[in-house]
Amino acid sequence: MLGMLRVKKSAGKINIRGRLLSDEPMAAHTTYRVGGPADLFAVPADSADLAALLRFCHSEGIEPFILGGGANILVSDRGIRGLVIDMTQINRISINNDTLQVGAGLAVSDAAAWCADRGWAGLHFLYSMPGSVGGAVWMNARCYDGEIYEVLRYVDQMHPDGSTTRYLPRAEDFDYKISPFQTANRVIVDCGIALTAADRETLWQQMHSYRADRESKGHFAAPSAGSVFKNNRAFGSPSGAIIDRLGLRGLRIGGAQVSERHANIIVNTGNATAYDIDRLATLVAEQVEQQFGFTLEREVLKVGEW
At closest approach, how far in Å is the CB of 89 from ligand FAD? 12
Comparison of 57 and 104: residue with beta carbon closer to ligand FAD:
104
At closest approach, how far in Å is the CB of 57 from ligand FAD? 13
Reply yes or no on whether 259 is catalytic: no
Comparison of 191 and 285: residue with beta carbon closer to ligand FAD:
191
Comparison of 5 and 168: residue with beta carbon closer to ligand FAD:
168
Cα within 13 Å of Cα(38), Cβ side: 24
Q: Which of 76, 147, 179, 299 is catalytic?
A: 299
Distance between CA 117 and CA 99 in Å, rounded?
15
Comparison of 108 and 121: residue with beta carbon closer to ligand FAD:
108
Comparison of 115 and 155: residue with beta carbon closer to ligand FAD:
155
Q: Which of 47, 227, 239, 259 is catalytic?
A: 227
25: closest CA among 39, 8, 43, 5?
A: 39
Name the site residues for ligand FAD (rule: CB under 6 A): 31, 65-73, 87, 104, 129-132, 134-136, 138-139, 141-143, 181, 187-188, 219, 224-226, 301
216 and 259 Cβ atoms separated by less than 8 Å: no
29 and 35 Cβ atoms separated by less than 8 Å: yes
Cα within 13 Å of Cα(191), Cβ side: 30
By DSSP bridging, strand 196-197 and strand 120-121 are antiparallel
244: closest CA among 182, 175, 292, 193?
A: 292
Torsion of Cα atoms, 269 then 273 then 278 then 283, to 10°: -60
Reply yes or no on whether 260 is catalytic: no
Burial call 167-189: b when 16+ CB within 10 Å, e when fewer: bebeeebbeebebbbeeeebbbb
At closest approach, how far in Å is the CB of 182 from ligand FAD? 7
At closest approach, how far in Å is the CB of 181 from ligand FAD? 6
At closest approach, how far in Å is the CB of 31 from ligand FAD? 4
Residues that are catalytic:
227, 299
